[in-house]
Amino acid sequence: MAEAGKKAIQSAHHLPVDSIYIGAMNVEEFVGDGNFAALLADYMGLSGVASSRVETACSTGAAVFESAFYAVASGYMKNVLVVAGEKMSHLPKTTTARILTEVIDREERRYGATMSALAGMIAHRYQKEFGLSDKRLRKVLARVVEKNSANGTLNPYARAKRTITKEVYERGRLIATPLRLFDCSPNADGAAAVVLTCEKTPIRVSGMGHATDTMALRHRASITSFSSTRASALKAYAMAQLNPRDIQFAEVHDAFSIFEIIGTEDLGFFESGQGWRAVEDGTTALDGRLPINPSGGLLARGHPAGASGLAQIVEIAMMMLGEVEGKRQIKWADVGLAQSAGALANNNVVTILEKSDRHRVLTTGWQPEYKPVIQVGTSDGTPGTLDDSGILETYTTLYATPEGFSPPHTLGLVGLEGGRMVLARYPKYLEKDRFKIGQRVLLKKRGESMLFETAGFLETMKNRVKSLFGRKTPREKRNQNTAP
């Protein structure tokens, strides 16, 4: 982080810094140091300078940029150094997983939900809502992974050094159905830094938006769209007086491959349910009409939680300055957008950068073309009495389970009368998931947990018992033996 910070100051021609804004998600647990804003100032040789830390889970890097922007925009600060980073690769995997899971709703955590589990449920629902076959979905997700990893090979700051072809993708183990290893951005260490200044510079912050959503997926109004991305995009476009079609390239929060697709829809680049087509037809490729994640995104860059949001912004700035190496450099790079999501898009930030010398007249006649439906969910807190059945809205089977759970671990979101949803787990009798989104399932309470059972559950149990005891169940055998 200090290295990135010093580099940023250097590239800003050593402007004197009035204040430092630090982004880091969880330094206390990852590295055991608190008081991190002061510590980093000291470490960079900037003791004395005001320093604050900002945190919004995985969108920390973008949120700290936002707060620093207000400090400069207020007129009270001339030059502000923004540094964001995370160090997380040195801990045992289970520890890192436990720490990362703290960003999830407490109740969903209790059921063994991880970020991958929630992303898996979202992917299944997307597949169902927009009518993709299993094969088609797999092809589309593999395409996102291939595109971003290929972009990443051109980025010296990326973690990935090879293109993940469809063949390699398919060999990746299942993490949370339908998501496989390469659908998930890897944990990483990293940092990014910029200097924000009131002086005239080649690039200006032209739009900015920030919004939250409910902590729990079950409280959301939609499972295939993030209202916080929509709300923050709306604010950013309005501030910039721009529309989605004005954006020339974007860094979209692809913590999971499916998030990139949903992100491009929520940002208004494509209609709902059409984002996957843009991947398939190459619209979002490096040489496409709207390059998405030319840096390689989180999938290829890696996802050092606190850094990613700012790394996106740095990528966009470097692209605009023509400082990107060789083939990765986009020809038309005057307006770029970065979208960063905190945890399950609980806390999202959209930032639009524009070249300062871009010929554009802000007119009073600007008309917003992007008019998304934004339905923020509600957490009423009172579970009330539970129905004994409901509709399976989505599900996932976890193969990479958190501590205390063993694979396969199936979680489902069950919709009740009146629109409320509950999280429930499936009892561990089936090895393969044979669930159908939209089917009616039975709900049962076991201890503190809710279980869901499919209508075919009894049938399946009977078959399993049959296979254990031969062609007939014990009862059938008994009946046969005592037959007259």
Rounded Cα distance between 468 and 464, Å, is 6
Q: Which is nearer to a copy of itself, 35 or 479 (CB)?
A: 35
- Which of 58, 124, 253, 409 is catalytic? The answer is 58
Distances (CA, A) of 175 to 135, 182, 401: 17, 9, 8
Q: Provide the b/e sequence for 137-165 (b: ≥16 CB within 10 Å).
A: bbbbbbbbbbbbbbbbbbbebbbbeebbe
Question: What does DSSP assign to residue 463?
Answer: H
Nearest to 375 by CA among 215, 262, 221: 221
Residues contacting 382, CB < 8 A, separation 6+: none
As measured in angstroms, the least distance from the Cβ of 207 to a copy of itself is: 11
As measured in angstroms, the least distance from the Cβ of 45 to a copy of itself is: 8
Look at the chain and count its residues. Answer: 484
As measured in angstroms, the least distance from the Cβ of 287 to a copy of itself is: 35
As measured in angstroms, the least distance from the Cβ of 362 to a copy of itself is: 16
Q: Which is nearer to a copy of itself, 296 or 309 (CB)?
A: 309
Q: Angle at Cα 327 formed by Cα 169 and Cα 329, nearest 5°?
A: 110
As measured in angstroms, the least distance from the Cβ of 66 to a copy of itself is: 7
Phi first, then psi: give them for residue 263, nearest 5 degrees: -60, -45
As measured in angstroms, the least distance from the Cβ of 213 to a copy of itself is: 6
Q: Which one-letter amino acid corresponds to residue 37? A: A
Q: Which is nearer to a copy of itself, 177 or 225 (CB)?
A: 225
As measured in angstroms, the least distance from the Cβ of 259 to a copy of itself is: 16
As beta bridge partners, residue 210 has 349
184 is an active site residue: no
Residues contacting 106, CB < 8 A, separation 6+: none
Q: Which is nearer to a copy of itself, 33 or 369 (CB)?
A: 33
- Which of 219, 253, 303, 409 is catalytic? The answer is 303
303 is an active site residue: yes
Q: What is the 3-state secondary structure (H, E, C) of 384-450?
A: CCCCCEEEEEEEEEECCCCCCCCCCEEEEEEECHHHCEEEEECCCCCCCCCCCCCCEEEEEEECCEE
Q: Which is nearer to a copy of itself, 54 or 398 (CB)?
A: 54
Rounded Cα distance between 374 and 225, Å, is 9
What six digits make up the tokens of 34? Answer: 């608190």
* Positions in the binding site for a copy of itself (CB under 8 A): 19, 25-26, 28-29, 32-39, 41-43, 45-57, 63, 66-67, 69-71, 73-77, 99, 102-104, 106, 208-215, 219, 227-228, 231-232, 239, 342-343, 346-347, 374, 376-379
Q: Which is nearer to a copy of itself, 69 or 370 (CB)?
A: 69
Q: Which is nearer to a copy of itself, 2 or 319 (CB)?
A: 2
Rounded Cα distance between 354 and 242, Å, is 10
As measured in angstroms, the least distance from the Cβ of 462 to a copy of itself is: 43
Q: Which is nearer to a copy of itself, 374 or 424 (CB)?
A: 374
As measured in angstroms, the least distance from the Cβ of 126 to a copy of itself is: 22
Q: Which is nearer to a copy of itself, 231 or 398 (CB)?
A: 231
Distances (CA, A) of 38 to 41, 85, 199, 479: 5, 15, 26, 78
Rounded Cα distance between 460 and 467, Å, is 11
Omega before 244 within 30 of 0, i.e. cis: no
Rounded Cα distance between 24 and 302, Å, is 15
Strands (E), 308-355: 335-342, 347-355
Distances (CA, A) of 202 to 75, 196, 246, 356, 478: 20, 12, 19, 5, 85
Q: Annotated active-site positions, please?
A: 58, 303
